[in-house]
Chain A
Amino acid sequence: MDMNTLVLILAATVAAAVPLIFAALGELVVEKSGVLNLGVEGMMVVGAIFAFMAAAETGQLWLAILVGAVAGAGMAAIFGFITLSLMANQVATGLALTIFGIGLSAFIGQGYTSVALDGLKEISIPVLSSLPVVGKLLFSYNILVYLAIIAFVGIWWFLYKSRSGLILRAVGESPSSAHALGYRVIRIRYLAVLFGGAMAGIGGAYLSIAYTPLWAEGMTAGRGWIALALVVFATWRPGRVLIGALLFGGVTIAQFHVQGLGVEIPSQFLSMLPYLATIIVLVLISRDAGVIRLNAPASLGQPWHNELH
């Protein structure tokens, strides 16, 4: 394998990891506020179809990204209303949201299955992108890849360095205590849920307008579920979410190359590998119960309402 192939594989790894980075970081913020939204897959796929429609109809890709985010946030708003305002069970509602999203996207996407789209183009940063090796590896991706990195840094800073992030974590740890101090638990959780939906929507939009610029029913292919698993196995820490997403992307690309080499392993088994490898590695690095207790939001998945008023 020469240097060029390696660089191509690494660049493809990053490209495959991006939808997971968006969806999982969004869900991380949601879960840090104490809400468990299992509807990530549904929000992603709805984001994907709405973004694709916007791109196909207007040709404006930046508008498509925005539409994807709004569609994801719209799905999240349904979830928020049912679980935060009506206090329904979060697990059941999240599962229903995924099923609803898959069905809804298939229904409204019927007319778009054979539409071709010019996908999001790479931005080659002048000078830097023409550097050998690092130029291709670091400085010639599409805008969403850079946005994913910015989102990672931003969310890390928000959670651990900002006062708002401290309040969010406090709400996830003990909503009753946060309420007693005068914080608006439900409003904070709504904002987190909407943000998570928008991030999942952008992840979906990336799939349908950048990664493979076409619409196919169920094209998220379980990435929403992997994003959920990433958050848990990364013990609610952004850095580990990023590593897990890159690992998933890497194994995805590696197994394509193995298939291309004509190795005698059933292709179904190889397609399974990214999911298996990601989960096994993350389980192994997150065995420490103490780390989990310190990072897991203690009120995760429990409805909270203000009983006193």
Chain B
Amino acid sequence: MSLIAAPPRLELRGITKRYPSVVANQDIDLVVQPSEIHALLGENGAGKSTLMKIVYGVVKPDTGSVFWNGQAVKIRSPAQARALGIGMVFQHFSLFDTLTVAQNIALALDQKQDMQALSARIVEVSNRYGLPLEPDRLVHLLSVGERQRVEIVRCLLQEPQLLIMDEPTSVLTPQAVRKLFETLRRLAAEGCSILYISHKLDEIRELCHTATVLRGGKVTGMANPQLESSKSLAELMIGKELPAYRRASTRALGEPSLVINDLSRATTDPFGTSLKHVQLSVHAGEIVGIAGVSGNGQQELLYALSGEQPGRREEVLIKGQEAGQLDAAERRSLGLRFVPEERLGRGAVPEMPLELNALLTGYANGLAPKGWIQYAKIREFSKACIERFNVKAGGPQAAAKSLSGGNVQKYIVGRELMLNPQVLIIAQPTWGVDVGAASFIRQTLLDLSQAGVAVLVISEELDELFEICDQIAVIEGGQLSPAKPVAQTSVEEIGLLMGGTRTSHVTEQRVA
């Protein structure tokens, strides 16, 4: 090492953090240079978020040292991290819904602010980086992309030397991702280092200069992502080869099994979205996907389809029968199976063991004849589900909340599939699920459609929808676009629909 070289912006040596049940980080070394965009790559639970919280002063490491611009530092609080010049954009936004943009930003700045001067600075900085914001709007009225802009501008106002981004693109449209990348490249060119956490390999290859790969809390490799393929990066990340999907080239489509007929719902929730004339049909043997940025009516549509909020008779047809007025149990008896977005709380009771969670939807299928629970049967059912779907759990008696998100999801999907669906509605099938389990769940859905089941997938992951769906529609502002065959559309086109005409219009005006 030569003497004239500038010291690394951030260097971690031997960082270890243990929790009672798990070692989140073990002996981690990481070096980030000035102006570098450095990817931190790993599956869920690999320890990425814990490591970043250590750098940001939210979590204290058990052992190890942190060097900032060559100086040893102990970062004890986020305020201290900010004072050093470290900014962080959280994966789950740390914004306050009922406050304005300017108030949210003021809360993250350490000195007392004159609100008018601050608003002027917000407008100035946000326009300079192409992230237009209105300081006086309430945050709950903003789209997800706009909320992220608030978080980024909040960091930029502190003129950071290191910006940590935790899975920033998971909620953005492809166009918004492109804009974000432009901003990040520009920041890096101005000398700011960026630590970019993600499991989206294409993005890392496009954006990052260096990658550090974590698995099971340890560093398992370093790579130059621009020289790797997505496949090789994935294999570094999961430590084994990635299976390829099997799908039949031709399938016979049956009758429409699920028809949504001019479904409109006004919402009473001020943070909700009203549904407007939603129209869609899913045939037997077909997978139809609904893409969209969250908060555009997905939640309301799911409630209307599952039967949690019944409506007019003719709004929903299940296998030709009018089912719009039926409750969830009655719809199940027609052959509908449903995997909700919220796994704990809606899909499973967190405190109950897995076997009793099987009973929740399986009671009508012989697990509780005449109201008497057959414990032997539910245990057998639950065991079979755990085995068939490769659920990592202590056994049928393990409480649902003791499982990781991905394993709960595998169990819930498994439970529904074992109850012989004819129509399956599944929301965010692989959200928070690791790469291996995600490809297993996707394959399961493909097999299911092959067997003649009508499958409706609501997801924010465009790649996933393009991988498994036959047709894709987009929900935006409570309206559903007509479904298009996957072969006749592109990520680009779907992304434009997801952004909606409204938002892109506003953005263009402000930039111009």
A170–B58 CB distance below 8 A: no
List CB contacts (< 8 Å) of B240-271 with chain A.
268-271
Is B370 part of the binding interface, using a Cβ–Cβ cutoff of 8 Å?
no
A177–B94 CB distance below 8 A: yes
For B107, the chain A residues whose CB sits under 8 A away are 166-167, 170, 178, 181, 183
Is B99 part of the binding interface, using a Cβ–Cβ cutoff of 8 Å?
yes
B96–A308 CB distance below 8 A: no
Given A166-B103, A309-B59, decide whether A293 and B95 contact each other with a Cβ distance below 8 A. no
B271–A163 CB distance below 8 A: no
A180–B99 CB distance below 8 A: no
List CB contacts (< 8 Å) of B70-95 with chain A.
77-79, 82, 90, 93-95
B97–A181 CB distance below 8 A: no
In the complex, residue of chain A having the shortest beta-carbon distance to the beta carbon of B90: A180
A166–B94 CB distance below 8 A: no
A167 to chain B, nearest CB (A): 7
List CB contacts (< 8 Å) of A241-298 with chain B.
289-290, 293-295, 298
Contact of B270 among A170, A176, A294 (CB under 8 A): A294
List CB contacts (< 8 Å) of A182-224 with chain B.
182-183
A163–B106 CB distance below 8 A: yes
A173–B97 CB distance below 8 A: yes
**Cα distance A291–B57 when bound, in Å?**
36
For A163, the chain B residues whose CB sits under 8 A away are 106, 112-113
In the complex, residue of chain B having the shortest beta-carbon distance to the beta carbon of A174: B96
Contact of B268 among A170, A178, A183, A289 (CB under 8 A): A289
B94–A181 CB distance below 8 A: yes
A177–B98 CB distance below 8 A: no
Given A298-B97, A309-B59, decide whether A180 and B78 contact each other with a Cβ distance below 8 A. yes
In the complex, residue of chain B having the shortest beta-carbon distance to the beta carbon of A184: B77
Interface secondary structure of B, over-half rule: loop
Which has the most chain B C-beta neighbours within 10 Å: A295, A308, A309? A308
Is B53 part of the binding interface, using a Cβ–Cβ cutoff of 8 Å?
yes
Is B277 part of the binding interface, using a Cβ–Cβ cutoff of 8 Å?
no
Contact of A174 among B53, B82, B94 (CB under 8 A): B94
**Cα distance A180–B138 when bound, in Å?**
20
A181–B78 CB distance below 8 A: yes
Is B238 part of the binding interface, using a Cβ–Cβ cutoff of 8 Å?
no
Is A169 part of the binding interface, using a Cβ–Cβ cutoff of 8 Å?
yes
Is B108 part of the binding interface, using a Cβ–Cβ cutoff of 8 Å?
yes
For A309, the chain B residues whose CB sits under 8 A away are 59-60
For B138, the chain A residues whose CB sits under 8 A away are 294
Which has the most chain A C-beta neighbours within 10 Å: B77, B103, B107? B107
A79 to chain B, nearest CB (A): 26
For A183, the chain B residues whose CB sits under 8 A away are 107
B271–A293 CB distance below 8 A: yes
A18 to chain B, nearest CB (A): 30
Flag A156-169 by CB within 8 Å of B: 1 or 0 each: 00000001001101
Given A289-B268, A289-B270, decide whether A180 and B94 contact each other with a Cβ distance below 8 A. yes
A169–B271 CB distance below 8 A: no
**Cα distance A181–B99 when bound, in Å?**
15
**Cα distance A179–B59 when bound, in Å?**
11
For B93, the chain A residues whose CB sits under 8 A away are 177
A308–B268 CB distance below 8 A: no
For A308, the chain B residues whose CB sits under 8 A away are 53, 58-59
For A178, the chain B residues whose CB sits under 8 A away are 107
A177–B96 CB distance below 8 A: yes
Which has the most chain B C-beta neighbours within 10 Å: A173, A180, A295? A180
Given A167-B107, A180-B90, A181-B108, decide whether A289 and B269 contact each other with a Cβ distance below 8 A. yes
B269–A182 CB distance below 8 A: no
**Cα distance A169–B79 when bound, in Å?**
19
**Cα distance A29–B95 when bound, in Å?**
21
In the complex, residue of chain A having the shortest beta-carbon distance to the beta carbon of B77: A182
**Cα distance A167–B82 when bound, in Å?**
18
B306 to chain A, nearest CB (A): 22
For B113, the chain A residues whose CB sits under 8 A away are 163
**Cα distance A174–B53 when bound, in Å?**
18
**Cα distance A9–B58 when bound, in Å?**
57
For B270, the chain A residues whose CB sits under 8 A away are 289-290, 293-294
Contact of A180 among B58, B98, B103, B106 (CB under 8 A): B58
In the complex, residue of chain A having the shortest beta-carbon distance to the beta carbon of B98: A294
Contact of B98 among A167, A173, A182, A289 (CB under 8 A): A173
A227 to chain B, nearest CB (A): 23
For A177, the chain B residues whose CB sits under 8 A away are 93-96
**Cα distance A298–B59 when bound, in Å?**
25
**Cα distance A289–B270 when bound, in Å?**
8
**Cα distance A264–B79 when bound, in Å?**
67
Contact of A295 among B53, B60, B94, B98 (CB under 8 A): B98
For B97, the chain A residues whose CB sits under 8 A away are 173-174, 298
A182–B78 CB distance below 8 A: yes
For A169, the chain B residues whose CB sits under 8 A away are 96, 98-99
For A182, the chain B residues whose CB sits under 8 A away are 57, 77-79, 82
**Cα distance A94–B4 when bound, in Å?**
64
A89 to chain B, nearest CB (A): 16
A306 to chain B, nearest CB (A): 9
In the complex, residue of chain A having the shortest beta-carbon distance to the beta carbon of B88: A180
B112–A166 CB distance below 8 A: no
For A298, the chain B residues whose CB sits under 8 A away are 97-98
For B99, the chain A residues whose CB sits under 8 A away are 166, 169-170, 173
For A173, the chain B residues whose CB sits under 8 A away are 96-99
B309 to chain A, nearest CB (A): 15
Flag B35-58 by CB within 8 Å of A: 1 or 0 each: 000000000000000000100011
A168 to chain B, nearest CB (A): 11
Flag B115-147 by CB within 8 Å of A: 1 or 0 each: 000000000000000000000001010000000
**Cα distance A175–B113 when bound, in Å?**
22
**Cα distance A119–B406 when bound, in Å?**
68
**Cα distance A115–B77 when bound, in Å?**
55
B144 to chain A, nearest CB (A): 16
For A166, the chain B residues whose CB sits under 8 A away are 99, 103, 106-107
In the complex, residue of chain A having the shortest beta-carbon distance to the beta carbon of B112: A163
Which has the most chain B C-beta neighbours within 10 Å: A174, A179, A182, A293? A182
**Cα distance A177–B91 when bound, in Å?**
12
For A294, the chain B residues whose CB sits under 8 A away are 98, 138, 140, 270
Which has the most chain A C-beta neighbours within 10 Å: B57, B58, B103, B269? B58
**Cα distance A71–B107 when bound, in Å?**
34
For B98, the chain A residues whose CB sits under 8 A away are 169, 173, 293-295, 298
Q: A180-B94, A309-B60 are in contact. List 10 more A-B contacts (CB 8 A).
A: A166-B99, A169-B96, A170-B96, A173-B96, A176-B94, A177-B94, A181-B78, A182-B78, A289-B268, A309-B59
21 A-B pairs, CB-CB below 8 angstroms? A163-B113, A169-B98, A170-B107, A173-B96, A176-B94, A177-B94, A177-B95, A180-B58, A180-B90, A180-B94, A181-B78, A181-B107, A182-B82, A183-B107, A289-B269, A289-B270, A293-B270, A294-B98, A308-B53, A308-B58, A309-B60
**Residues in chain A within 8 A of chain B (CB atoms):** 163, 166-167, 169-170, 173-174, 176-183, 289-290, 293-295, 298, 308-309
Q: Which 6 A-B residue pairs are closest in the complex by CB-CB distance?
A: A290-B270, A182-B78, A177-B94, A182-B79, A180-B94, A173-B96
